Chains A and B, each alone.
Chain A
């Protein structure tokens, strides 16, 4: 790779210049709004401008007024959904990377397609499947076995199903990328040296595939934390996700500082995880095979 050397030390390098447009976008529409949110989180209740004493009372309210319950449910469900996706995806990703050969492209396309159908629509589809009595699932079970069944709908179970369902592709693809990074020769060498299947998997395949798997875990988890439609459409408001309680404070309750404090706590928790994972992943290798 050749690189033009800048003519003078004061001129920006070509790479830095190319990074400017995106940098500006981030500054205006990412850094600035988040700074505002951070700022408001330290202001007294119901202030709408940057006036008033700095205070920690919003963070106190978060704990005293039971908002942490929202956090436990949201993060708990996101964690559970990530685990489900992990287990469901692994054989599929392994197949895409190793077993399907020429079919892999078509099978990938089959998995890509649903991403481009509105998530809300697919969730509506699930409600029609899960409806009590005349729903597809209940009806089929009744036809086959004669049993009347209850419904998963409007409870944590259906939210978990929805999250797992919607974010599954976001686990499968990075995981496939990770598993296809495992060199065949290395596995064969390990096998020749007498390692059994489990040892090869644990000592060779898993560590090399780990960056891809971690990216998948992170993506699934973060998307699930920020999800709202699953809880509303499938969960029937039985559980209030984080986004919903922030929305409530920003709009109906007109309490920007408390909403900001909830946002900041959510961002910090997710941010710690993102930082932890990304510091362990080499993007050049994962995307460019270098």
Chain B
């Protein structure tokens, strides 16, 4: 702690941060409130509460279809971007090679690129090639933006990775594949896992790319958007609240796995 951080400053920072947290959670709390309202529109004061919209959100066929599409896209993006990101991170952070600095900068370009413009350029590209956009093409679009981010996430792990372990394994007669399986992958596992988690969630909530590249297929976020523009239904907050609970579960499980790993590591060493 800094000696210069005076008590009044610390208190101001705490209060400010608390205010920002409130600001960030206002709409999420309101969505959850709105999901329990009986009437068609959410208006204060609320006269009656109920859970029928949840039942509808859980049973409607369309809802299943939306979630499946989002899940296929996010799952594929998670797997593919971890594979791409693993090699990408080795090139980014591990090996000292001629083009590395240029490569590092080029990798940042898709991240710092207006997503909607990228989505539209891809739409034009697919149309030009005669490919009809479906959820498959959305995977490509998501990868362009998400694979570099996953590469950065894994790179942070690679920076802290001691390559002497690999050298030792090679000296002991292991071949390249064995070294990869027994040494490199286990050492980088936390980075790969958090990369996959990031990729899945970023893809799951993405809208700017999906909206132009899924064609006739619809993801959850696209449906939410369409309903907000053309016709609000109470299914919107119900579905939204469900997705909030889902994200909470994923993050908590992820956090617990991370904790358990850290603990077993501490115990074994």
Contacts and interface: CB of A to CB of B under 8 A. Distances in A.
Interface string B152-165: 10011001100110
Nearest to A28: B140
B121 A37 contact: yes
A285 to B, nearest CB: 10
B75 interface: no
A274 B141 CA distance: 21
B115 A15 contact: no
Interface stretch (B4-12, B48-56, B57-65): B4-12
Given A30-B110, A92-B16, A260-B124, A226 B105 contact: no
Interface bracket on B = 35 or more
B109, B121, B202 — most chain A CB neighbours (10 Å): B121
Contacts of B224: 118, 120-121, 124
A290 B99 CA distance: 19
A64 B77 CA distance: 42
Interface of B: 1-5, 10, 12-14, 16-17, 20-21, 23-31, 34, 41-45, 83-85, 87-88, 90-91, 93-100, 103-118, 120-125, 128, 140-141, 143-144, 147-148, 151-152, 155-156, 159-160, 163-164, 167, 201-202, 204-205, 207-208, 211-212, 220-221, 224-225, 228-229, 236-237, 240, 243-244, 247-248, 250-251, 255
Given A92-B16, A219-B112, A136 B44 contact: yes
List the 8 shortest-distance A-B pairs measured between CB atoms, nearest first.
A125-B27, A226-B114, A15-B97, A134-B43, A15-B95, A288-B159, A243-B116, A33-B125
5 contacts: A21-B83, A94-B13, A118-B220, A120-B224, A124-B224
Contacts of B255: 109
Nearest to A134: B43
A246 B159 contact: no
A278 B251 contact: no
A226 B118 CA distance: 9
Contacts of A218: 112
A15 B87 contact: no
A15 B27 contact: no
B112 A110 contact: no
A134 B107 contact: no
B237 A113 contact: no
B114 A25 contact: no
Contacts of B44: 134-136, 139-140
A243 B107 contact: no
B88, B128, B144, B202 — most chain A CB neighbours (10 Å): B128
Chain B interface SS verdict (over half)? helix
Contacts of B12: 91
A14, A116, A122, A242 — most chain B CB neighbours (10 Å): A116
Nearest to A241: B116
A40 B93 contact: no
Given A124-B228, A243-B120, A266-B117, A91 B13 contact: yes
Interface stretch (A54-62, A151-159, A228-236): A228-236
A243 B143 contact: no
A104 to B, nearest CB: 11
A149 interface: no
B30 A136 contact: yes
A236 B112 CA distance: 27
Contacts of B115: 223, 226
Interface in A78-98: 88, 91-92, 94-95, 98
A21 B123 CA distance: 22
A118 B4 CA distance: 40
Given A121-B240, A165-B24, A18 B88 contact: yes
Nearest to A88: B20
Contacts of B24: 111, 114, 165, 168-169
A33 B212 CA distance: 14
A181 interface: no
Interface string A256-290: 10011001001100100010001000011001111
Contacts of A114: 24-25, 28
A190 B28 CA distance: 44
A15 B208 CA distance: 33
Interface in A124-144: 124-129, 131, 133-136, 139-140
Interface string A24-64: 01101110111011001000000000000000000000000
A170 B33 CA distance: 27
B124 A40 contact: yes
Contacts of A187: 2, 4
Nearest to A288: B159
Given A16-B91, A19-B87, A227-B208, A2 B28 contact: no
B215 to A, nearest CB: 12
